[in-house]
Structure 1
Amino acid sequence: MENQRPPQMQDRDPGLEHEMRPEPDYQPRFPGSGRLAGKTAIITGGDSGIGRATAVLFAREGADVAIVYLDEDRDAEETRKAVEAEGRKALLIRGNVREKAFCTSAVSRAVEEFGKLDILVNNAAHQEIAEDLRDISEEQLAKTFETNIYAYFFMTQAALDHLEMGSAIVNVTSVNSYKGNDTLIDYSSTKGAITAFTRSMASNLVEKGIRVNGVAPGPIWTPFIPMSFPAEKVAEFGAQVPMARAGQPNEVAPALLFLACEDSSYFTGQVLHPNGGTIVGA
């Protein structure tokens, strides 16, 4: 079946894209049309998965891209090469978005390199499975919230010193923000917080002409999956959605492009749902 893949696991957090079989599809599927010509973007978690696909698509549409990542050097280097192959500049920024000082520094480095900042994509995330709420340790809870929501605050706080009228912020939330997940309770809770953060910041910034929107992916074939789930579940990951397959990162990136460019000029405080057909409340 289309959704099947070899059983596999990774014992490294974060997971690595180059060790996945098959590797995710991240290359843009269509020619660019200059929708981000002259723009600059920062993408957290830009080394792999949805972040990589978004970085390469943004580059194809004309943007220079700062790729923020934790320590996945090989994956980040491949993303840099893919961005540069599209004829745009790429800046790799290695560090931990859980730390406010790093987030501030990352934005400053991007602005210093590119001269300005037009787009912020908050995408980096962390998840761990727990069958029982009582199994979620204080350390796990802190890591999940600090990565998934604190970092969005930190990056946005730093970016606001540079974003101007016409800029865009795109936050990656999750289908689990809307339907919940019984084994990803802390993760789902942070994704709900991201959805609320997106709507609140949209209201806060609308008079400044800065749009804030979100994307809530369903099951997408990224390093998150072999890093998080048992091998037998990885083999059939995504089979539960109406389309009966996992999505690919390059099926999500166009939603982020739409929200980052002027095609979505009448969108703010909204969330798009590339999730394989799962019906959720908007």
Structure 2
Amino acid sequence: MRFLGAFLLDDLTHGIVWSLAQLDDGLLADDQSLDAESHNLETYLALPRSAPNRQLLELTAAGSSWWGSAFCAQYIERELEGAGEIPVFWTREQRGAEAAPWLFFRHKIDYLRSTGRFADGGQATSRVFCVPEASVLRTERYERVLLLLAVALMERYGIRVRLVADSAYTDMDGVAFIPGQKAVVANWVRTGEALWAASTTSSRGDLRSYGTAFGDAQQIDILTGSAPKSRLEELARFLDIDWGWVTTRCRAVAEQGIASLVRTRSRLLTSDGVEDALSFLGTFAPRI
């Protein structure tokens, strides 16, 4: 009975199944196209800037997201190679559908793990989200749960997440920023007709603008807690998700294992991310 109770259909299980089904179906349909296009990756990575049109490839929404995300992850990794200072990141995801790739794309998990190398003497890197209240109000709870899971995964890997609710920052670039040195712009979410938009700049004007945005984010961050638990609890409150309910449900599903609920089919996906996020949030569940 406990096993059956863990997988009751609610906003947690529905969100996981809903997002994985869309990603899995799309990537399986696009597998040959993505494999055939992979030989062009080095060409794009060698360019100082790139923004290929979506019409170059006939891909599903999932395939376009995967291709843009995979390129941006490798582009940022390459541009930050040998960086002597800890970068800070700004990400453009605002909804659960946009955040779900963090939970399931295999390269996203590797990318998050690799950011651990920037930690120095206990100082962690940070990642800023801009999620206006209007976006929250327009989103169903199962999507908001996915966003919470994605943020929990980042905190699980030692990344300090900040959240800005001011809509003035909605169009801020996805960027990896090293103050005074460089800004690695890598957008793949809400890029219009482009699969991605990537470039690197060391212009004083650009660095000043990005530095101001990150400084503002630190000042108006609504996740003010000093520890992951308090920040995630503040995020749940902002997303109108009951903290006791979501942590208890995460613990129940994690204890049974996500493979008992869903399994990935595409070689490009993994359940490791959502497993880690569920387990991490589950540790904060109240003990009865």
Q: TM-score range by the shorter chain?
A: 0.3 to 0.5
Instruction: Please identify the structure whose Cα radius of gyration is greater.
Output: 2
TM-score by length of 1: 0.33
Structure richer in helix, relative to its length: 2
TM-score (norm 2): 0.32
